[in-house]
Each structure stands twice: as C-alpha cells, then as structure tokens.
C-alpha cells in the first residue's frame, strides 16, 4: 500500500518498499508513477527505471526535498494513472497525458507540461514506403494503447482504418511485428523509443506528426498548491539548462528531436 500522504504543497510519508528498489527508503518518501515500457522515456529494466520522464520526475522530487533513497517509482498506465493518484497508490505521475488533453480536468490536475510531443505512426521497416501517413491507413489495422487518446486521432483523420486497442505499447509492437497490426499510433517520442529498441531494420517511425501529446506531472485533482510548486520547479529546470541536458540525452539515445518551436514548452502556471 502507498504510505505517502499529501499535505498542502508537500509530500510526507513512512517507510515502505518500492517495486523497483532493492533497498528500503529512509524517512519520508514520495512515490512517483511512471510508464514501464517506453525506452528512452520511462522504462523498467533490471529493477530500475530510466529515461527522460524519469529524469524529470527525479529532478522534481529532489527539488521538493526528497533524496534518492526517499524516491520510489511504481508503474502506471495511461488508462489507470488517474485512479492510481486518487487511490494514493502514487503521489505524482510523470508521463504523457492522453493525446489531445491540454488542460487539467475533473480527474487530475497537471503541472507543466515539460515536453510537447505529437501523435505519430510506427510501421514495419518493410512498409516504410507504402505507409507514409494517415492517408495510407485505409483498410489497415492500427494498434493503439487503451486510454491514450490515439484511437480518436486516427479515426478523425482516417475513418477507414481499423482500430485495435491493446493495454501497452509493447503489446502493440508485438502485434505489429507478427503481422496482427499494420501500424502503431501514439506519442511520437514513445514510438521513437520503441523503434530504437527494436532496431531500424525492423521498425520505422513515419515522419509526419499530427495532434498534440503533452508530457506533464499529474497530481490528484484539486491539489493546485502542489501543482503550482511543481510548475515553479519545472521553470527552474528549463532556465538552469537541466531540461536541455535531459532532452539531449534522449536525442542521443533515441534519435528523437523535440520540436524546436514547441520545446521547451511554456510552463503554464495556471494552478493558482
């Protein structure tokens, strides 16, 4: 069970065990929800999480006053992160919002964004010349992650595409590789990571981007004071040059270049 509790704009907790940490945390803890299957962004491998989203989350936690041994990571998905926040399974979430979501809603309040990505397409390398955009998806099966919002984006641009939803990106990649799907659609940074993980001889990211996919730090709905504090931390991350170092590391690893027009994104600071 989650043993952290929110108090105004701070997080306090008790000792507990992380599903990605061999050592018990010391003192108050913060539990952060992240994805487990996005190479270069947030990936669980050999018992630890790594990637751009994880780096941002760790920076935020440090600035909130938590040392490394006080930070615990837990896996969440785009379909359950709001519930995980409300159930106190996690205190904050650092991950892509559902595609098309650009503001806080009744389920969650977000700080940021800290990355402005887009929706994209991932195809088999052998199909790179035949599927070059959404116009080519008519009659083809597109795999999307449940709750990601990608299905709506595809339906809006290509109603003749067949949508197949799976629980995770890795399940969609498997479907693509074995021929059960012809493309995967989702956050284009996540797709770049999946392609890099499998290799360019197997997967190809289509160059065209569409829609909006924001990466943000989400908190339980109504916790505006905490979100405002995180907004200030994210601004500091940008002005200090730390955001750029995290982004360069992601680019070097994945070959993914965030849009220079949109990044680093403006921290909205609409949390009071």
The pLDDT tens digits for 121-135 are 999 999 999 999 999
Which CATH number do you get for residue 203? 3.40.190.10
Q: Tell me, what's the pLDDT at 102?
A: 83
User: Does 57 reside within a domain?
Assistant: yes
Residue with tokens 């402005």: 116
CA nearest neighbour of 90 among 138, 42, 127: 42
Is 12 part of any domain?
A: yes
Say if residue 106 is in the same domain as residue 19.
yes
| Domain co-membership, 100 together with 140 | no
pLDDT category, 11, cuts 50, 70, 90? Answer: very low
Assess whether 147 and 188 both reside in one domain: yes
In a domain, 269, yes or no: no
Looking at residue 13, what is its pLDDT?
A: 39
Across 250-254, average pLDDT: 96
272 pLDDT higher than 80: no
Q: What number of H helices and E strands is found in the chain?
A: 7, 14
* Mean pLDDT along residues 1-29: 46
Which structural domain range is residue 166 located in? Answer: 119-211
Residue labelled with tokens 């701070």: 10
What is the mean predicted confidence (pLDDT) over 185-197?
97
Token code pair at residue 200: 């360019």
- What pLDDT is attached to residue 101? 87
Where are any strands of DSSP class E within 8-47?
A: 10-13, 30-34, 37-38, 42-45
Give pLDDT, residue 98: 93
How many Cβ atoms from other residues are within 10 Å of residue 23's Cβ?
9
pTM (2 d.p.): 0.88
Number of domains in the chain: 2
């Amino acid at each position: 069970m989650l043993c952290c509790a929110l108090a105004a704009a701070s997080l306090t907790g008790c000792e507990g065990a992380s599903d990605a940490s061999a050592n018990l945390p010391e003192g108050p803890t913060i539990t952060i929800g992240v994805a487990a299957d996005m190479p270069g962004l947030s990936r669980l491998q050999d018992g630890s999480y790594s990637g751009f989203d994880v780096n941002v989350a760790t920076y935020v936690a440090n600035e909130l006053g938590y040392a490394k041994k006080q930070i615990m990571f837990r896996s969440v998905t785009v379909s359950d992160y709001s519930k995980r926040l409300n159930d106190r399974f996690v205190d904050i979430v650092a991950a892509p919002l559902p595609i098309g979501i650009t503001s806080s809603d009744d389920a969650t309040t977000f700080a940021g964004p800290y990355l402005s990505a887009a929706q994209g397409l991932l195809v088999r390398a052998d199909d790179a010349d035949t599927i070059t955009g959404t116009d080519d998806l008519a009659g083809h099966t597109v795999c999307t992650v449940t709750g990601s919002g990608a299905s709506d984006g595809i339906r809006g641009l290509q109603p003749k595409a067949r949508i197949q939803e799976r629980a995770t990106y890795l399940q969609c990649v498997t479907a693509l590789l074995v021929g059960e799907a012809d493309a995967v659609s989702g956050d284009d940074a996540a797709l770049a990571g999946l392609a890099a993980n499998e290799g360019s001889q197997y997967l190809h990211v289509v160059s065209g981007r569409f829609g909006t996919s924001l990466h943000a730090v989400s908190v339980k709905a109504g916790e505006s004071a905490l979100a405002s504090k995180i907004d200030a931390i994210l601004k500091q991350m940008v002005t200090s040059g730390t955001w750029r170092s995290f982004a360069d590391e992601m680019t070097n690893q994945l070959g993914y270049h965030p849009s220079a027009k949109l990044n680093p994104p403006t921290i909205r600071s609409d949390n009071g």
